[in-house]
Structure 1
Amino acid sequence: MAAAPPSSIDPRSGFCSTNGVYYRLHSPPPLPPDSLPLSIASYALSLLPCPPPPNPAIIFSTSSSSPSITFPLLISQVSSLASELRSHLRISKGDVVYILAPTSLEIPILYIALLSIGAVVCPSNPLSTPDEIAHQVSLTNPSVAFTNAYFAAKLPSHLATVHLKSPLFRSFLEPGAPAPSLPTVEMSQYDPGDILYSSGTTGRVKGLIITHPNFITVIAAYYASREAWSLEDGPYVTLFTIPLFHVFGFFVLLRSVALGVTTVLMEKVDLEAILRAVHAHRVKVIPVSPPLVLALAKSDLVSKFDLSSLRRVGSGGAHLGRELAELFTARFPSVAIYQVSYGLMESTGSAASQLGPEECLVFESVGRISAGLEAKIVDPATGEVLPPGRQGELWLRGPVIMKGYIGDDEATASTLDSEGWLKTGDLCYFDQDGFLFIVDRLKELIKYKAYQVPPAELEKILLSHPKIADAAVIPYPNEEAGQIPMAFVIRRPQSTFTEKQIIDFVAKQVSPYKKIRRVAFVSSIPKSAAGKILRRELVKYALSSPRSKL
């Protein structure tokens, strides 16, 4: 827990010149006592009114139908499933449960039930390759996997599997005969609740351990600020465009349950499906990525649907520029657009946020630091802590910071220092009013839409081909995706390896969002004296040179 801020802080910026720390000037949200045996599932459900709200809890929007469940049914099915997970599948507190499945109506129920019995939820991107999945499974050692018939073939054969669409799983959701008496699960708020997979700049997957209080702190903050975002004209309906295996999707789902709002899940996320869902379900709030903001602002499809219910669009996953925000506002003058809270997986998706419509008017900023957190701007070269207006690496400390990386003490120590500061790898600054601005990423991840693509992983694959002498991968700007992976390749002498052959070679070995989408053949790759690829020089070269000359 972050210490109480000193009294000698700037009342505008939240910066304390005596210790170089930035503080949120709003009071932190009330949190349950540390000693209370509480899971994030029980905490989120405890915030619901009694009786539960009458509006649907979850709607699953497909091209042909829209099945839904109410809040009373959600609570009932969570209770039934939790009991069956313990008595029938013998899942116990601390067991890791791997989930490999696309978004569906069953996933939220499964997440909440697992969290309620102390199991560790371990969701994975269903687009992952069998090799990637095998590595994830070896890293976290799950006791069972939940999937469907299509993705089951990707799982290692030794892993016990339950199909989410099977009659067995469906029976787990139905109230039946009383379950055998089971001892109460002795929960601790500091037990792991979730393991999320994140690729670092080294190119190999790491498993981030997120605890129950990490999530409780995030949900408590949103619950405490709910009045700032109140919608007075009818039911609050939010459209979910974020994958549920992502940290942002995970906590927004829990937030929606805690706030008692209707969540519309989607079978397929594309512009037309989004427009159709807004029209059909009178959606008021959509979290999207900047490429979708651009599509909404420009597409002719928009005029074919009734979007009059829409009140807010939150952009996340990448930077939302002023020009794009103004372009959107020109087309939708009655819809507020704002930058969704900035965060990392390591900070449970929370670090800074815009509290209310007025703060959303500070374009380019991701808002002010989240309540209860501390921040520093540190000069990467000297370690000096910097005041407002100075750029450096953002460090964070507080109750939302992850426990660490599973089975990787070295990576944990390099990311979390001995005082609990998380080194984000992002180049940032605070202004005189305490608003945080993200300038660039010190880490070298490529942001393809809302996905993170590690260049080192793609470089390793490229260098494995006998016709490639050297290679480097950079982020290349793209209007639709934000950034795409671009490869600079040095071919072996006499090699005629083509751009298409390189793209196809990599595509066979990675998830679709990691594919190389542009290739340049060069005679040399700029590197430092220590052999580190100078990616920024390659980015400048790519942007300044006509493609025919690359």
Structure 2
Amino acid sequence: MIFESPHPPITVPEESFSDYLLGSLGDRRDKAAFIEGPTGRRVTYGELRDQAAAAARCLAARGLERGGVVAICSPNVPEYATAFHATAMAGGCSTTLNPLNTEDELVKQVNDSGARWYITIPPLLDTARSVAGRTSIEEIIVFGEADGATAFADVIAAGMGSDASEPMGVEDPREDLLTLPYSSGTTGLSKGVMLTHRNVVANIEQISSVGLVEPDDVVMAVVPFFHIYGMVVVMSGALRAGATVVTMPRFDLVAFLETIQRDRATCLYLVPPIVLALAKHPVVDNYDLSSVKWIMSGAAPLGEEAAVACQERIGCRVFQGYGMTEASPVTHLCFGENVAADKISTVGPTIPSTEMLIVDLESGEPLGPGEEGEVWLRGPQVMKGYLGNPEATAETVDAGGWLHSGDVAVADEDGYMTIVDRAKELIKYKGYQVAPAELEDLLLSHPSVADVAVIPMPDEEAGEIPKACVVRAGDVSEEALLEYVAERVAPQKKVRVVEFLDEIPKSASGKILRRVLVERERAARSRAG
């Protein structure tokens, strides 16, 4: 059976992303769109739109054409949104980079995306220069000022000139790419997810119709904008509502609590580790969080115990959502005053104009309420495909338009979904995707590693941590392998535990039997406690 959304269907506006969010400001022109958390600096809606349009004209004059790619590598600052909209207004596409990625990881994404401009912050300039030297980057632009790089303020100023011409802009919202985030999909290495203007506009319209954010709300932006959750749900969803977004460049619990108290934040979009901190850390009691109306947790499953503890301590409802980068990202939301308490561990039903199937893992046959199977999804927010990878696209989105999520779930009679497992191999560390295949390739490059399988290991704070099951080819310690990986990957990808085995279980075709290793890990933890 197809699980339909309980919400009325939407009509997707046939507009570009920036026209949809900033085309008509009305009485919002002088209202704060962004507040910079650490400094209190404000950027109004009018300044955001005017500066983005000016930067778009300058980028177009520098050669950014329809389909051209701009890489943005920055923590959350108000200018992030300005640069993102400027690229979109010029008809270009943003690929968003994790500032914590290693140089090799950044180079790989920049080369794969074909980016020609690189926008960053002064403290990351040395890395940006190194990346530019190994890629097709033609110009480095910084938020602020730094020797040897173009100041973003100068880009805006150049576009403000009377002789600046209008850029090409967006021709077809259904086909033109807005953003190119990278995702490992259901397995394997990271791939560019092609999201069109229509994909993202549809998703913002879908989540807005559920009624999360209101014009008077103050939304905390601690989820990074380079992540699809931060980019679409937090940054863009709040702008659509006409709310104010408070940016935090990194998560620090005390600074986070101080900012909520200072700016009277009403809406908190979080990930499970932060929800857990709000539920358990003693310092929380030192701050007035009475302004908070609700907390929405996403990017990874949130346990019922942590959700209830946070809800009782903060005094507001805690909800969950679900989605994938390949779905722009939201497909499910559990939200509303009338949501029953026993639904707190669910991610809710599908959002408007989104269909769901729960299918048998073996046969692919549709299942009904109460039956566990893989989640398939269909709606206007589903990606155009993976960049330059038609095979992976076909494996993920079938001919019927169904996006195969790789997640195993069960839906109740009301269509409220609970994630119970993952058919896909990805590890979710604090909401970040970690692909086992990438870590396995890296470990196999070590001369003392003969074979390896990386699996998720449960962790209360992080959700899951990567564990490497290693067959040695020589004398090597756990500490040496942990250090070997840590030197070569971003922090969230570090292997945290190594176990040495005599062999890795594999199928007749040579495929790693991860479920065998995962069940073995569960059994060992059960015996231990």
TM-score range, shorter chain: over 0.9
C-alpha contact (below 8 Å) 1:446/1:455 kept by paired residues:
yes
Tell me how far 1:54 sits from its aligned partner. 4.5
Taking the aligned partners of 2:168 and 2:299, their CA distance within structure 1 comes to 39
The amino acid that maps onto 2:425 is E
Corresponding residue for 1:288?
Answer: 270
Partner of 2:334: 354
Structure 1 residues 382 and 432, CA gap change in structure 2 (3 angstroms):
same
Change in CA separation of 1:455 and 1:118 when aligned onto 2, cut-off 3 Å: same
- Is 1:409 equivalent to 2:383 in the alignment? no
Assess, with a 3 A threshold, how the Cα gap between structure 1 residues 42 and 155 changes in structure 2: closer, same or farther. same
Cα offsets for 1:483-527 (capped at 9, x unmatched) = 1111111222xx431111010011111111100111112222222
- 1:338-353 matches, within 5 Å, as 338-339=319-320, 341-353=321-333
Residue identity opposite 2:495 in structure 1: I
Identify if the C-alpha distance between structure 1 residues 186 and 482 changes in structure 2 by more than 3 Å, giving closer, same or farther. Answer: closer
State the AA in 1 paired with 2:50.
S
| Pairing of 1:486-497 with structure 2 (within 5 A) | 486-492=467-473, 495-497=474-476
Q: Give the counterpart letter for 2:189 in structure 1.
A: R
Corresponding position of 1:23:
4
The alpha carbon displacement at 1:161 in A equals 2.2
**Structure 1 residues 319-352: Cα deviation after superposition (integer angstroms, max 9, x where no partner):** 11221111112312x211111x211011111111
User: Aligned pair 1:501/2:480, yes or no?
Assistant: yes
Change (3 A) 1:125 1:547: same
What secondary structure does 1:23 align onto? coil
Amino acid of the residue matched to residue 218 of structure 1? N
> Which of 108, 132, 136 is the aligned partner of 1:156?
132
8 Å Cα contact 2:265-2:292 kept in structure 1: yes
For residues 359-370 of structure 1, the aligned pairs below 5 Å read 359=339, 361=341, 362-370=343-351
Letter aligned with residue 515 of structure 1: K
What amino acid is the match of 1:115? A
1:272 counterpart = 2:254: yes
For structure 2, the 5+ residue unaligned runs are none
1:238 and 2:215 equivalent? no
Aligned to 2:442: 461
Amino acid at match of 1:221: Q
Q: Does 1:424 align with 2:405?
A: yes
Q: Does 1:69 pair with 2:49?
A: no
Cross-structure match for 2:60: 86
- Asked whether the 8 Å contact 1:201–1:456 carries over to 2, the reply is no
- 2:36 is aligned, of 35, 44, 60, to 60
Q: 1:325 pairs with 307, 315, 329, which one?
A: 307
> How do 1:5-20 residues align onto structure 2 when only pairs under 5 Å count?
20=1
Give the aligned partner of residue 500 of structure 2. Answer: 521
Q: What amino acid is aligned across from residue 132 of structure 2 in structure 1?
A: P
Correspondence 1:208 to 2:190: no
CA distance in 1 between partners of 2:258 and 2:351 (Å):
34
Q: Quote the offset at 1:479 in angstroms.
A: 1.2
Query: CA shift at 1:148, angstroms?
Result: 3.1
CA distance in 2, matches of 1:480, 1:395: 29
User: Does the 8 A contact of 2:57 with 2:167 survive in 1?
Assistant: no
Q: Which residue identity lines up with residue 39 of structure 1 in the other structure?
A: S
The equivalent residue for 2:120 is 147
Partner SS state of residue 146, structure 1: strand
CA contact (8 A) 1:469 1:491 kept: yes
1:474 corresponds in structure 2 to 455
- Contact 1:242–1:288 (Cα < 8 Å) also in 2: yes
- Residue from 512, 515, 527 that aligns with 1:533: 512
Return the alpha-carbon distance in structure 2 between the equivalents of residues 475 and 397 of structure 1: 28
**TM-score of the superposed pair, with normalisation by structure 2:** 0.92
The answer on whether the counterparts of 1:210 and 1:348 sit within 8 Å (CA) in structure 2 is yes
For the structure 1 residues 61 and 186, does the alpha-carbon distance in structure 2 shift closer, same or farther, using more than 3 Å as the test?
Answer: closer
What is the DSSP-based 3-state SS (H/G/I as helix, E as strand, rest coil) of the residue aligned with 1:474? strand
Greater shift in the superposed pair: 296-305 or 127-136? 127-136
Partner of 1:170 in structure 2? 153
1:263 match: secondary structure: strand
Q: Hey, what's the Cα distance between the residues in 1 that align with 2:451 and 2:356?
A: 39
Distance, in Å, in 1 between the alignment partners of 2:42 and 2:166 is: 31
Residue 107 of structure 2 is matched in structure 1 by: 134
Q: 2:34 touches 2:44 (CA, 8 Å); kept in 1?
A: yes
Cα distance in 2, alignment partners of residues 544 and 417 from structure 1: 36
Q: 2:76·2:222 contact (CA, 8 Å) conserved in 1? A: no
For 1:548 and 1:463, the matched residues in 2 are separated by 31
Aligned residue type for 1:491: R
Cα gap change, 1:111 to 1:546, in 2 (>3 Å): closer
**1: CA distance between counterparts of 2:487 and 2:131?**
18
The CA deviation string for residues 215-273 of structure 1, in whole angstroms up to 9 with x for no partner, is 111111233333x6659xxx411111111111111112111111111101102212222
Structure 1 residue 275, shift from structure 2 partner: 0.9
By how many angstroms is 1:534 displaced? 2.2
Does residue 88 of structure 2 align to residue 115 of structure 1?
Answer: yes
Distance 1:186 1:383, change over 3 A: closer
* TM-score normalised according to structure 1 size: 0.89
Q: Which moved more, 1:320-329 or 1:162-171?
A: 162-171
The one-letter amino acid of 1:196's match is P
Amino acid at match of 1:146: I
Shift, 1:46, TM fit = 3.5
Residues 447-474 of structure 1 deviation map (CA, whole Å, 9 limit, x = unaligned): 0001010111111111111111221111
Task: Provide the secondary structure at the position in 2 that maps to 1:544.
Answer: helix
- Deviation by residue 1:168-199 (Cα, 9 ceiling, x = unmatched): 42123347431334465352111111111112
1:39 aligns with 2:16: yes
Q: What is the number of equivalent residue pairs in this alignment? A: 514
Distance 1:311 1:509 in 2: 41
CA-based RMSD of the aligned residues comes to 2.1
Identity of aligned residues (%): 37
| Paired residue type of 2:44 | T
Change (3 A) 1:522 1:187: same
Query: Is 2:287 the counterpart of 1:305?
Result: yes
Q: How far apart are residue 423 of structure 1 and its match? A: 0.8
Q: Equivalent residue for 1:189?
A: 173
For 1:13, the equivalent position in structure 2 comes to: none
Maintained 8 Å contact 1:321/1:363 = no
Residue 183 to residue 496, structure 1, CA distance change in 2 (3 Å) = closer
CA gap of 1:47–1:395, structure 2 versus 1, over 3 A, is farther
SS class of match (2:347): strand
Aligned mates of 2:151, 2:496 — CA distance in 1: 42
Does the CA contact (< 8 Å) of 2:16 and 2:170 recur in 1? no
- Tell me the CA shift for residue 214 of structure 1: 0.6
1:436 positional shift: 1.5
Is 1:100–2:73 an aligned residue pair? yes
* C-alpha spacing 1:544/1:181, structure 2 compared with 1 (3 Å): closer
Sort the Cα spacing of 1:314 and 1:548 in 2 relative to 1 into closer, same or farther, 3 A.
closer
3-state SS of 1:308 partner: coil
1: distance between equivalents of 2:526 and 2:358? 38
Q: For residues 486 and 288 of structure 1, what CA distance do their matches in structure 2 show? A: 25
Contact residue 133 and residue 154 of structure 1 kept, 8 A: no
With over 3 angstroms needed to count, the CA separation of the structure-2 counterparts of 1:436 and 1:546, relative to structure 1, is: closer
Aligned CA distance change for structure 1 residues 353 and 219 (closer, same or farther; 3 Å) = same
Structure 2: how far apart are the matches of 1:464 and 1:538?
A: 22
